[in-house]
Amino acid sequence: QVQLVESGGGSVQAGGSLRLSCVASGLTFSMYRMGWFRQAPGKEREGVASINRDGGASYVDSVKGRFTISRDNAKNTLYLQMNSLKPEDTAMYYCAADPVGGWRSRPRDAKNYVYWGQGTQVTVSS
């Protein structure tokens, strides 16, 4: 049984930082592309960042230069370091796993991801 468990969310002021973690079990983590998604109330789910099995990363434009996705295959853990947070980053953040670990034409397309965590809330106040 595959499980993805996120942690690290919370409430911060604008300009602050948070580090999200996602621990995976029940799958060969190192072979999967992993992604972070977010969804704010009343908005569509958005692919924030993706990392392939070789460490290549992709980001949505709104977080480039502020967020960093990384993975530790020895610990089956995915991370999202979020700096210079803005109120518009407020959302529920989810990690997800894509069985195609290599190249994707649309690496942050949610349709590619078959396993999802339950989410962790991030709230940024102004």
Predicted local distance difference test score (pLDDT) of residue 52: 97
Got the DSSP string for 35-92? EEEEE-TTS--EEEEEE-TTS-EEE-GGGTTTEEEEEEGGGTEEEEEE-S--GGG-EE
Percent of the chain scored above 70 by pLDDT?
A: 100
**Are β-strands 115-116 and 91-98 bridged in parallel, bridged antiparallel, or unpaired?**
antiparallel
Q: Of 27, 30, 39, which is closest to residue 3 (Cα–Cα)?
A: 27
Cβ atoms of 60 and 38 closer than 8 Å: no
29 backbone dihedrals φ, ψ, rounded to 5° = -55, -45
Q: Predicted confidence band at 19 (pLDDT cuts at 50, 70, 90)?
A: very high
The pLDDT tens digits of the residues spanning 70-115 come to 999 999 999 999 999 999 999 999 999 999 989 999 999 999 999 9
pLDDT of residue 44: 96
Q: What is the mean pLDDT of the chain?
A: 97
